Structure formats: C-alpha cells, structure tokens
Structure 1
Amino acid sequence: MTTAPALPPVTDRETWQRELAALRVREKAATRELDAIAAQRRRLPMVELPEYTLQGADGPVRLADVFDGASQLVTYHHMWFPDSAWQCGGCTGYTSQFTRTEFLRKYDARFVVVTQGPIDEALAYRAKVGNQMDWYSTADSAFGADVDAPPDGGFAVNVFLRDGERVYRTWHTNGRGTEQLSHTFAFVDVLPYGRQEIWQDSPPGWPQSDTYDKWLGSEEIAALYGPGGRS
C-alpha cells in the first residue's frame, strides 16, 4: 500500500468546519472582488480597429466576419513556432479544454483561436491534437501583432465588440491573467496538494516539482484527443 508523502493534520468535525468557515470568508471576499473587477472591466473604454483580413478554413475572412453574426468576440492567440512538429504545450493544453462553447451564443458572443501559423499548418495541427475550436491565421495580417500577439511572441486573450462593420478592442490579458478563463487550475487549486509547483506556498513535506512539470505536453494531448486517441 502506498501512502501520501505528507498529510494535512487530522482533526474533529467541529474544528474542521470552523477552519473551513474562516477560509470561506476569504473566498467570498475574493468573489466579491472579482465581481468588482468585472464591473470595472465593463466600464473600460475601447479602441476602434482598422479592417483586417485573416485566413480561415474556407479562405480569407474579414475580422468583422469572424464574429459570425455575433456582436462580441474572444480570441485566444496560440503561440506558433515555425517548422516545429509540436506547438506550445501550454497553448495546446489550454485550448483543449474548450469543446463546447455554443453557450456563448446566448450572450451574443463567439470564442476562436488565432495563430501566426499558416492556416494549412494550423488546421493540420488542430486535427493532430484533437482541438475542437475554430482556428484562424494572422500570418498574412498585422492583426496579431497589433493586439499584442506578434510573430515569435507569447500567447494572449483579446476581446472585441462589433457595431455593424466597425470592430473595437475592449480587453486584453496574457500570462496568468488567462487562468480565470479556464477550469484547469481552478480544479487543481482545490486539491489538498494544489499545483505542486515549487513557487507555491505549501506546508513542509508537500509534494513539489518544477513549474510546468505536471502540465500535459502537446504529444500527450494528441495521444489523448487526437485521431485514435484514448479519450
């Protein structure tokens, strides 16, 4: 029989509930702060964009048409390494989470992937890793660079609003700012051992490993979700 490397202290039910209630105060405060942040986000000004033409599965498409009739658009800008068989594992894993985004239609919105990779290569990679999102290429457009996702740059999330033929940029984030837009870390963070990454504040004896060590790699994602995958 195997045992955990370290365990939280064992206590009685009343003490556990008291400690949980104390934590819940902070959790609720964080929820209210996120509500306040969202309220401030809704009051941000916006910037009008020029017209861009991207490449989609069916050929050239104007940015205004990427909205597909919706008034709001979220784009995840997937990192791209030219001539690489496997693209960014973090981006590949992040976008693999999103398999059912039709709920956004109720909110008059759409969510797509944009990458600097040529569209044929991007779509081939999409199929290889079993990604289910709609992909577009900005390889022949300044769009990616203009919204802080240039060639050889990092990943990013951008949000846009369409008013007729006019498109406006309303919000942007990158780095850990994208965490709130996924469920992966939300689930992992409620586990007793958390992410198990060395930068985290954990009790002595808790399992820890290098940052990214437990993240699925692109090849692992392809094995799970790609053609003939196990899931």
Structure 2
Amino acid sequence: MTLPPIVDAPAWERARADLLAAEKDLTHARDAVAARRRRLPMTPFPSHHVFATPAGPRSLVELFAGRGTLAVYQFMDRGPDHYCGGCTWFTDNVPASAPRLLAEHDVTWMHVSDMPLAQIEHYWRERGWTLPAASSRGTSFSADTGAGEGFGFSVFVRDGEAVYRTYATSGRGIEHLAFVTSLLDLTPTGRGEDWEDSPEGVAQVPSAMLPNVLTTADVATSFGRFRRGATSTGG
C-alpha cells in the first residue's frame, strides 16, 4: 500500500478544510438534484406483467405488497449458471434490513431478473441473500424498463391498480447505493481501478480484468479477488 505524504496537524487541518469546502459544494449540488428528482413527472407503466415468486405468481401491483412505492433493481440474466459480477457486488451491498426499513417509509424493495425463478433461488441460497426477488422471465418487463439485457434501477408508485414510473437510472447512477463502494471512495486507495485519478504508486486493476460474468465456481474465487471494482463495470 502506498501511503499518503506525512504532514503536521495544522497542515492536515488546512488540507482537510479545503477538501471539506469542496465536499459541501457537492452536498449542496446533490441536494439540488434531489429536489429536481422529487419533482419529476411520472408516466404510466404497463401493469399486466406477471412475475414468478417463491410465493407463486404475482402481478406488478402485487409486488408493491400493499405499499405506495416500489423500488426495483433489475439483476442481469447472463444465462444458465452464469451471474453478473456487478449485480452480485451490488446485491452484496444491500443490507438484509433494507426491506424492513424501507417498508417503514411505505416503500417495497424488490430484485427482479429475467433469470428463471429456480436459478434466482439457487443463487440467493448460495450467496446467503434474504432479499425479496422475482423472475420476469417470459415478460417484457426488462424491455419496458429500458434495462433490456442489462441492469437498471426503477422507482414505481401506484394509484389503486394504476402503476406509474417516477425514476430510473443505470450504470454509475446506481453505484452510490452500494455502501462499500461509497466507503472505498473515502480511502486513500479508492476502489483500485485504473480509471480513477489516484496518487502515483497506488495499485490499480485494469477495469477489463474485473468480473463481468461469474460461473457458480467463480463465486468463491475470482469474485472475491476482484470484488472492489465490480460495481463500476455495471455488468
């Protein structure tokens, strides 16, 4: 590990104050963007989709579980026994308590994937995840959200049986939701990816070496080896 330069406490306080001013500017900019996000219009979304869940078929309205808002992460389908490294990293970062805490705010969390339900359940058991998940296989849900064969995040609200889409993002728009990714951004070495502007001497892994697709056998080996940078590749 390449360590930062050593300075006395007053010099560190001055450098920290300069950075804090930039961080405050960024916080205010985020607040302004969040205010715009809360004022986004909504658009009708097809509610005819039927999903396979461990509890049986469920409509999109039923995925809300009686709440007013539904947050959906679309987990990529990479084929039998293959799994998206970025989606795996992201899901590892969603705490098991998130669905309960979100429910207190009238929000339901759901992972949705075009993978068959049996494959989802197998991978969830293997990873030790307890997050709710549903299969959209055989539906146009992923296409309708714009995720297609990729990944994405959408927020829906409902008015009775009518469903509306209020927000959507993909790529690096999702990575700030990943706790470990955000924490690594606060460390001297960052995420360790070669696209980052890091001090000279900081070890970095070329993004092309980060896992895009995992097999079942890869889960305990190569994913752990490259886990730090999987998020920014997106899949």
Q: TM-score range by the shorter chain?
A: 0.7 to 0.9
Q: Name the residue aligned to 1:144.
A: 142
Q: Confirm or deny that 1:57 pairs with 2:54.
A: yes
Among candidates 178, 194, 202, match of residue 182 of structure 1: 178
Distance 1:215 1:32, change over 3 A: farther
Matches within 5 A, 1:3-152: 4=1, 6-51=2-47, 52-83=49-80, 85-98=81-94, 99-101=96-98, 102-150=100-148
Gaps of 5+ in 1: 225-231
Question: Alignment partner of 1:200: what SS?
Answer: coil
- Residue type of the partner of 1:104? L
Shift of 1:204: 1.4
| Equivalent-residue separation in structure 2 for 1:186 and 1:76 (angstroms) | 18
For 1:16 and 1:215, the matched residues in 2 are separated by 37
**Equivalent residues of 1:46, 1:168 under 8 A apart:** yes
Cα pair 1:96 1:132 within 8 Å, conserved: no
Partner SS, residue 181 of structure 1 = coil
| Separation (CA, whole Å) in 2 of partners of 1:34 and 1:24 | 15
1:156 paired residue number: 152
Partner of 1:170: 166
- Distance apart, 1:57 and its partner CA: 0.9
1:186 alignment partner, SS class: helix
Cα deviations by residue, 1:40-64 (Å, 9 ceiling, x for unpaired) = 0011011111222111112210101
Count of residue correspondences? 217
Contact 1:86 1:219 in 2 (8 A): no
TM-score of the pair, normalised by structure 1: 0.88
Partner of residue 229, structure 1: none
**Alpha carbons of 1:128 and 1:120: their partners in 2 closer, same or farther (altered >3 Å)?**
same
> What is the distance in 1 between the residues matched to 2:59 and 2:173?
28
4+ runs deviating over 4 angstroms: 212-218
CA RMSD in angstroms, aligned pairs only? 2.1
